[in-house]
Structure 1
Amino acid sequence: MTVTVRDLRPDARADLEGFARVRHDALPFILLTPDSLAHDLTRMHPDAHYRPLVAVADGEVIGTAQVHLAHESSEPGQGNVNVYVHPGHTRRGAGTLLVRAAEEHLTAHRATRLLAWVLDEPGNRAFAERHAYRASRAAHFLRLDLANGTLPPLQDPPPGVELRTGSDFADDPRPLFALDAETTADEPSDVDKEFTDYEAWLEETWRHPLFSPELTSVAVVAGRPAAFSAARTDSGTRYGTAMTGTARAHRGQGLAKLAKNDSLHRARAAGYTEAFTGNDTGNKPMIAINEWFGYEICATEVRYVRELG
């Protein structure tokens, strides 16, 4: 069986569905759909040089790669190489071909440091190390059974706090952009992120087909967003938390927990049966909050880094 690697074709439904299928089977903890892929491919900032790749054998997509520069970082030259091969098609060379094509693309755009998320399994880690990547930080995937689990009871907001939805900011999402930028800047990561481009945030976050403003909950203090829990859905039964955070001036008051609980209850009422989220393994407070909600760790991934000099 000959394996070839080529660009994902955004106008080919079979490509989009094949990419989404491989990603779901290899990494079922992250929401991704054909429509979200097409959106990313056509709307991601040009400075990202985004190039999704597929490995194909006998006309079937068996491997995928999401390849781009971290254009939000203050440090130039940071490239992302996230490769996933369908579990039934490993050890056929697809992963190596994808890594090679991804690295050639990123180095052509002056990448000097490559980062890849790898599931914490012996075979996956050995594959990364054979390609000269070295382990860095780790993160957990967490799952909550919304259909059968028991959520903490809803609580009334404390005095001076109002709960709203993301939809309430549809006419002017800029206050949510400011809050997202502040909380993301403080999130543990190998790559710093600085959200300074409001128009890019609108395209990549606010207008993303997975983003659900209806299920996003926002705690508002004195008319300004103080904490939020941003929701994504696959328009089926799966719900994911894209980001939960609190403005620095309001931390330690339980507002993020309040917002996330509100969002989870409304997601369950809307018929979603599974909830997913992720946490850096060093973010003990957020892991504790998610375990309080009933989330359980279902997998771990490790960030691997290759310095190109």
Structure 2
Amino acid sequence: MKFSTAIYATSLLFATSVISVPVRRDVDPNLVPEFGVQPGVNPTGTGDCDGINGPNGQPIKIPCACPPDRNSFISSLNQNVAAGKVVNNPSVPVSFPTDDSKDSQLARIQTAIVTLQNLNGPGVGCPAASTTFLAQQKAVQDAAPAPAAPAANNAAAAPAGGVDPALVPDFGVQPGQNPTGTGDCDGINGIKIPCTCPPDRNAFIQSLNANVAAGHAVNNPTVSVSFPTGDSNQDKAARIVASLVTLQNLNGPGVGCPAASTTFSAQLAAVQ
């Protein structure tokens, strides 16, 4: 009887210990920025639809499946926040602070952007143009003056010659393939991309140099980059990720060319 009581007490203690383990809470859905765009607007019949307006005032073409279902998006966001990084692109850190400060609002929007862009793999997801995230980000940034000088100073400190061009992954895709007449062309596996993507390689390497010198994407400072020169898979992956980040932020935070305009994602998968 005493032996049974001891077992019961031990079991109860174990159960209590298990129950008392803290459980990470999901993010508050009310703090997740709204997409601001509906999927499937004005389909062209080639798989692309209208996103937000570009600098020319015309809608940017996006996959008709974008933006994704909000519940599935928040589920992916929860996984990333719990991991402290993008699960599908682990070199990209994320955070989701809950206060109302400017920095916290920007961190939440940035986490939403990188979750969106890496929904199905590294650099494989929906473009920022399938949401109003960038406009929301700019609105928060413009609410008070932000010092931009440090990034420019860091970029100016780039070493002579910059990164070794031989270590920069090749795009693997030519721009202007099978234009539809609506500004989009074929990327990998026929995915529609802007006909101007991928960019001129020299201009791309120039942007990559600036980012590597700064230690982050100059146009999106919350995203860190590195460009190690070793031959390990880890170093190769870091270089490819730096190239992906540079590609996707060429002209502003989340404004650039999609991963589908290169074979970077396939190259990354090959070394992981």
Higher relative contact order (CA 8 A, sep 6+): 1
As a proportion of its length, which structure holds more helix? 2
TM (norm. structure 1) is 0.27
